[in-house]
Amino acid sequence: MNDYNNSMPQAGHRLELIDRERLTVSGVEDVERFDETGIIMSTAAGTLVVTGEDLHIGKLSLDGGELHVDGRIDAVSYEDGGQERQGFFRRLFG
């Protein structure tokens, strides 16, 4: 049996990506960093990194835990760990 579902946090978290141009994320707890090429956010499932070009936050509701992103989305990934994560963020944002 797959233990993946058992290891997910109980708080709700969901991603919806449409045509690599619109991303909706629920379960957002905080936006740590944002510019036109990347967004780093804390979610109920861990730190989420979105990279792309011409990224814009269309809607942010931390009370509702929802974030809408528009632009060209190249990658969406979860990051774990301390030193490796800092190195990735340093490369991403200089």
Residue ranges per structural domain of the chain: 18-93
> Residue 30 has what DSSP assignment?
E
CA 56 to chain centre: 13
Amino acid at site 61: S
Cα–Cα distance, 28 to 13 (Å, whole number): 8
User: Which pTM was predicted?
Assistant: 0.74
The pLDDT confidence band at residue 8, using thresholds 50, 70 and 90, is very low
Q: Looking at 3-12, 48-57, 65-74, which range is the least confident one?
A: 3-12
- The per-residue pLDDT for 89 is 61
- The per-residue pLDDT for 83 is 47
Q: What is the pLDDT of residues 31-45, one digit of tens each?
A: 999 999 999 999 999
Give the mean pLDDT of the chain: 84
Cα–Cα distance, 64 to 27 (Å, whole number): 8
According to CATH, the topology of domain 18-93 is Immunoglobulin-like (2.60.40)
Q: What is the pLDDT of residues 55-85, one digit of tens each?
A: 999 999 989 999 999 999 999 999 875 445 5
- The per-residue pLDDT for 62 is 86
